[in-house]
Amino acid sequence: NNKDCIVEVEFDTNNKAYRVVRGIKPNLFEIYCDGVLVNQDAASRDYQEYLEKFILKLNYKSFTQIVILGSASFTPFMQLSASDRRAIIEDLLDIQIFSTMNSLVKDKLSNNKDLVAEKKHEIDLATQKHDMQKKHIEELKQNNEDKVKEYESEIQVHSETISSLLGNVNTLTAEVDNLQLVVESKIETEAKVKKITKIESQIESNLSKFRKDISFFQNHDDCPTCRQTIAMEFKEEELTNLSNKVMECEHGLQQLEEKLTAEQDKLNEIAEKQRELQKKQVEIATCNTTIIETNKMIARVRKLIDELKESKVVTTKEEQELKELKELLGTLQESLKQLIEEKTYYEVASNLLKDTGIKTKIVRQYLPVINKLVNKYLASLDFFVNFNLDESFKETIKSRHRDEFTYNNFSEGEKQRIDMALMLTWRAVAKLKNSSNTNLLILDETFDSSLDANGTEELMKILHMLEGVNLFVISHKGDILQDKFANVIRFRKEKNFSRIS
């Protein structure tokens, strides 16, 4: 019912007793070493990796090649890819550590590359600072007297400029004073214009009245008020007087108009002088500003002269800083040299640790032993061929007539003999290297497949030759194999449950 399923396995390795407990619904994973629970702080995947690497020293793929043969759930060695074949053999020969070392070297190479780039950047900066400081000291050590004379000449030029500007200011000030006198008469002239305009208005008013009276006497013979007749002599006398007054008014207006025009011209001249006055005042302000700024420049140049006279103290300080920068640059260059040397070592180590490096050399030494063992077990299984694995873990199988074949060219029974021979070879190599040595061997329906009677007998001879092996054979041929093993456990299914009988 997929609940409360518990599996416990007890075994000894490295002189320690282990018990592994696995369960589903609820999930359970516990490892006990000599009765003490191993720390479970890590994740389940890491716990499994600890079990394989540090306790069993056998991973899943290697387990299926060394311990189990014949199960449909596991792929025989000859059906694995070249990379998987390499991984299994590296595990058997206990050289997978070189892959881990290669990964570490790659990380160190990458880190070294970053450190070299960083150190080169620091050296560039230090070199720039050193060169700038050296140039600065050289400038400080230039002939101070020439520098002082140059600055004094500059001060002389500025002083002459100030004198010239002061002369311009005096000239402009005098012109401004004269213009000011002209401008000051503006108020008086404007008053005259106003007065003339007022008198002109009064005369025009009188002129209008006189013309009106003339029109009256010309158009009326009787007085409209008293209805009496106006005497002719009186009318002519009045008309004469009024005409004389009109002439006087017109003459007066003409004279006022001339005076007004003269005063207006005078005002226009004053306005022009006023604009000229403002322009002169702006020129004076500009000259004064230039004089102030020139005096500031003279003060700065005098300060530079004073600093040059004290430059000996400054130079001593700068030379000390230059010395420190030179020492720093030497330290950085030494560090870079060490990093480049480390890079050389890492690159050599990386080449050695690649698949084509030291691992290939080790595999090359073991290949003759592996091929010899495989052919020995094939011969024991009554299968007389020449089996050979190359450095790429590709097989070449030659028959008695020296024809070349591959694994897939053989029948299922022959393939099984090859698989069995390889398994026994891996076990022998593991025992020889003491890498994945185990006393457990499981044959899952190996006798039920394509082995003929002769093959079965040969396989039994090999199995009896194995010493110190806990052998488990799973088979449906109980009647045939019953007398070949000391212990037999039979299972039968009743109502969909397995029972031991």
What is 35-53 written as a DSSP string? TEEPP--S-HHHHHHHIII
* Structure confidence at residue 119 (pLDDT): 87
> Across residues 278-307, what is the average pLDDT?
85
For residue 55, is it left (φ>0), alpha (ψ between -120 and 50) or beta?
Answer: alpha
> Across residues 414-433, what is the average pLDDT?
81
Percentage of residues of the chain with pLDDT beyond 70: 92
String of DSSP letters for 107-129: HHHHHHHHHHHHHHHHHHHHHHH
127 to 19, 130, 316, 323, 334: CA distances (angstroms): 65, 5, 20, 12, 14
Average pLDDT of every residue of the chain: 81
Q: Is pLDDT larger for residue 296 or for residue 463?
A: 296
* Structure confidence at residue 32 (pLDDT): 94
Tokens of 413: 């029974």
> Across residues 331-358, what is the average pLDDT?
86
Residue 159, pLDDT > 60, answer yes
> Across residues 333-353, what is the average pLDDT?
87
Whether the Cβ atoms of residue 343 and residue 91 lie closer than 8 Å to each other: no
Residue 230, pLDDT > 80, answer no
For residue 343, is it left (φ>0), alpha (ψ between -120 and 50) or beta?
Answer: alpha
* Structure confidence at residue 33 (pLDDT): 93
Whether the Cβ atoms of residue 409 and residue 38 lie closer than 8 Å to each other: no
* Structure confidence at residue 17 (pLDDT): 93
Task: Give the C-alpha separation, 290 to 282, whole Å.
Answer: 12
Residue 10, pLDDT > 90, answer yes
Q: Is pLDDT larger for residue 210 or for residue 410?
A: 410
Kind of pairing between the strands at 470-474 and 386-389:
unpaired
The model's pLDDT over 116-148, given as tens digits with 9 standing for 90+, comes to 899 888 889 989 888 888 887 777 666 666 777
Residue 313, pLDDT > 60, answer no
SS3 2: coil
Question: Which range (11-25, 153-167, 237-251, 291-305) has the least confidence?
Answer: 237-251
* Structure confidence at residue 71 (pLDDT): 57
Task: Give the C-alpha separation, 100 to 96, whole Å.
Answer: 7
For 275-335, list the strands marked E by DSSP.
none
SS3 472: strand
Q: Is the dihedral of CA 126, 130, 132, 133 positive or negative?
A: positive
Facing residues of 397 across strands?
Answer: 387, 405
H helix intervals, 141-185: 144-184
In 3D space, the residue among 479, 391, 462 whose CA is nearest the CA of residue 425 turns out to be: 462
* Structure confidence at residue 144 (pLDDT): 67
Query: Element (H or E) spanning 444, and its range?
Result: strand 440-444
Measure CA of the first residue to CA of the last residue in the chain; give whole Å.
Answer: 23
* Structure confidence at residue 21 (pLDDT): 94
Residue 26: CB atoms within 10 Å: 8
**What is the total residue count of the chain?**
501
Query: Element (H or E) spanning 280, and its range?
Result: helix 232-309
3-state helix vs strand vs coil in the chain, percent to 5:
70, 10, 20
Which residues have CB under 8 Å from 269's CB, separation 6+? 182
Residue 491, pLDDT > 80, answer yes
Q: Whole-structure pTM over 0.85, yes or no?
A: no
* Structure confidence at residue 73 (pLDDT): 62
